[in-house]
């Protein structure tokens, strides 16, 4: 079955296609590799105070070894492009399977895959935010493994608000230094809960890495919200949001819906992928633009929420 045979409206595909084509044209015409889509954000050359980030939009497989091989290949491609940090979709090491998969899944397969990716980070001197799974006290967690440049493991963030039955919910909100920048993390359904980004932003995070494997194109009524929410998380906190989502497979519609993107703190989408393509969505970002001004004002203004927000920010674990 192809997407042409599905129940997706022509309006939706045409509108998303225009965005994808527009972004591609801007990327080709830009004088920098960032390919930004708004005049006020002219191409930024990589240099002091800038970071080159990439969201990797790929489909992976239930076979962890096969997925690991593909992930390492994309890390190598990003390193050749001078990327400092590459992020991957949710549960990227296993293609986000459900059902009976978890009855026979082996922790050692995921541990081996993570080890190979940590080695690639060290060899290529690139930071990696990896959608993966880990077991702890006989519980399964849907998380991201945060690997800094040089293969230094900073830690994990486990998904807080679950949309699936197989994992246990995470219980911590970490902020890690990634390529020298304080960063926070959310996974898929988490994006619907603004406090998961607001509190880390109050605590110092300038970038939110958002790994997802959202519903597919058959559920087109969700697409408007899916695009709006990560933009809101960036704008309402004055920080960058780097969203890595899985694409849709054109023939079967397996996977998600794509639209991985890099979002400026003012809410402008610097670059966005289409529905079906596998690609790196890459931009140079100026860290001084991530002022955290709205998040800081929320915690500093004399309102009835001031104490509540500052107490909440104490729940965030900030790691140097």
Predicted confidence at residue 19, as pLDDT, reads 41
Is residue 76 a contact partner of residue 30, using CB atoms and an 8 Å limit?
Answer: no
- Separation of alpha carbons 248 and 253, rounded Å: 5
User: Residue 259 has what pLDDT?
Assistant: 97
At residue 22, the pLDDT reads: 39
Phi/psi of residue 183, each to 5°? -135, 145
Q: How many angstroms separate the Cα of 226 from the Cα of each of 189, 223, 258?
A: 10, 5, 10
For residue 259, what are its two tokens? 């639209």
Give the DSSP letter of residue 42: P
- Residues 194, 171: Cα–Cα separation, whole Å: 16
Structure tokens at 220: 């087109």
For residue range 48-68, what is the model confidence (pLDDT) as tens digits? 999 999 999 999 999 999 999
Distance CA 103, CA 49 (A): 47
CATH of the domain spanning 3-318: 3.60.110.10
Q: Could you state, in order of their start, the residue ranges of all structural domains in the chain?
A: 3-318
Given this model, what pLDDT does residue 109 score?
98
Contacts of 135 (CB under 8 A, 6+ apart): 107, 141
Q: Residue 39: what pLDDT?
A: 57
Confidence at residue 237, expressed as pLDDT on a 0 to 100 scale: 98
Contact yes or no for 58/89 (Cβ under 8 A): yes
How high is the pLDDT of residue 141?
98
d(CA 193, CA 298): 16
Other C-beta atoms closer than 10 Å to the C-beta of 204 total 18
Stretches where the chain sits below pLDDT 70 are 1-39
- CA torsion angle for 208, 209, 212, 217 (degrees, to 10)? 70
Q: How far is residue 51 from each of residues 45, 113, 198, measured CA to CA in Å?
A: 10, 27, 22
Strands lying side by side in the sheet with 181-187? 269-272, 261-263, 240-245, 207-212, 181-187, 173-178, 316-318
In this prediction the pTM is 0.89
Tell me the average pLDDT of the chain: 90
DSSP calls for 209-256? EEEE----GGGGGGHHHHHHHHHHHHHTTT-EEEEEE--B-TTT--B-
**pLDDT > 70 fraction of the chain, expressed in percent and rounded:** 87
């Amino acid at each position: 079955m192809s997407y042409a045979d599905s129940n997706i409206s022509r309006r939706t595909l045409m509108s998303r296609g225009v965005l994808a084509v527009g972004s591609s044209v801007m990327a080709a015409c830009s004088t920098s590799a960032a390919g930004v889509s708004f005049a006020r954000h002219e191409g930024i050359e990589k240099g002091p105070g800038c970071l080159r980030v990439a969201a990797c939009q790929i489909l992976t497989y239930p076979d962890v070894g096969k997925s690991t091989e593909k992930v390492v290949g994309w890390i190598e491609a990003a390193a050749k492009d001078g990327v400092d940090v590459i992020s991957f979709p949710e549960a990227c090491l296993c293609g986000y399977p459900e059902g009976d998969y978890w009855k026979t899944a082996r922790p050692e397969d995921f541990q081996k895959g993570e080890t190979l990716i940590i080695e690639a980070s060290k060899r290529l001197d690139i930071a990696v935010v990896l959608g993966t799974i880990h077991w702890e006290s006989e519980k399964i967690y849907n998380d991201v493994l945060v690997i800094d440049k040089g293969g230094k493991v900073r830690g994990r963030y486990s998904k807080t608000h679950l949309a699936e039955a197989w994992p246990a919910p995470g219980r911590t909100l970490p902020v890690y230094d990634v390529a020298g920048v304080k960063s926070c993390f959310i996974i898929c359904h988490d994006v619907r809960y603004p406090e998961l980004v607001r509190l880390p932003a109050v605590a110092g995070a300038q970038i939110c890495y958002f790994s997802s494997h959202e519903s597919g194109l058959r559920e087109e009524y969700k697409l408007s919200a899916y695009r709006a929410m990560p933009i809101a998380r960036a704008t309402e906190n004055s920080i960058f949001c780097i969203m890595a989502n899985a694409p849709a497979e054109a023939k079967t519609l397996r996977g998600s819906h794509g639209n991985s993107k890099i979002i400026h703190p003012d809410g402008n989408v610097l670059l966005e992928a289409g529905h079906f393509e596998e690609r790196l969505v890459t931009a140079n970002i100026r860290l001084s633009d991530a002022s955290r001004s709205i998040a800081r004002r929320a915690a500093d203004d004399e309102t009835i929420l001031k104490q509540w927000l500052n107490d909440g920010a104490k729940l965030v674990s900030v790691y140097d």
